[in-house]
Structures are given as structure tokens and as C-alpha cells.
Amino acid sequence: MNENYAKYHGKTYKASIKGNPVEGHISVNPCGVIYLCQNVIRGSLANDLLGYEYSWTIGSDIDSIHVYDVANLVIDFKITGKKKLPNTTNWKTGANVVNKDGMVAKIKDRYDNFVQLSFEDGTTYKYTKIITLKKQGWRIKE
């Protein structure tokens, strides 16, 4: 099927990857490659993770997923409509963040869904996914 799947970008889905039930959003890159973005299983890296930690490619045609390595891994693919994406827009360069223990850091740099944190003592974290930092208890300091 030679259809443009860009219309699916940002839509939610439910599927199984390697027997693991997953839910997330669909990301379609400029070349038309389709990714299942989710926080469960690591696969191919999408250009736009839509705020999720991982993505899994299903190729460039939903109807021919059987051609790709994921043919036996992605099952029960269902597009279930739009859903609010995880909010990371306020994670900007220069913003202060605080963890659950009260430790404060500054966002030194942001690239896509990754940020680099710096601390008052001069130490700097490597680039880390925002979703990972949120899971660790980091949040924007009000």
C-alpha cells in the first residue's frame, strides 16, 4: 500500500512487542518510517520519540509489517485515537529542576527529548531523556 502514513503521527496505539503489552503513540519520520513509541521495550530510535523513552519500528507500511523483523513481535496493532502526549515543553535550557530529595540542578542544554543537567559544584550529567529524569523524581522547580 503506497499511502502516506504521516496522518498517524501522534495517534495512540495498543500492541504487543515481544509478548509485552504496550501502549503509546505512533511517530512517523519524514521518510515515512513508522515507529511505535512507548516506555517498555528498546528498539530502533525514532527521530521524534513524542516524550517516550523507546521506539520500535514497523517499517514504512502498516499493512506490510510482516516484511520486517518485528513481524512476529508486534501483534494486535490497533490505532485507538488521539491521546495527550507527555508534557516536556517546560524543560527548557536555563530552567531549574529539583528531585524528590530537594537537590536542585539547572538544565544546561536540551536536544530533542534529552537534557543535560549541571549542578552548583560544577558537575554535569550526561544527556539524559526527560522521561527518565521524571521517573527518577525530577521536576521543574516552580
Taking only the tens place, the pLDDT of each residue in 3-19 is: 567 777 888 777 777 77
Identify the band that residue 71 occupies on the pLDDT scale cut at 50, 70 and 90. Answer: very low
Sequence length of the chain is 142
Cα distance between residue 101 and residue 108, in whole Å: 20
What's the pLDDT tens digit per position in 7-65? 778 887 777 777 777 888 888 888 888 888 888 888 888 888 888 888 888 876 555 44
What pLDDT is attached to residue 96? 95
pTM, rounded to two decimals: 0.55
Residue keyed to cell 520519540: 49
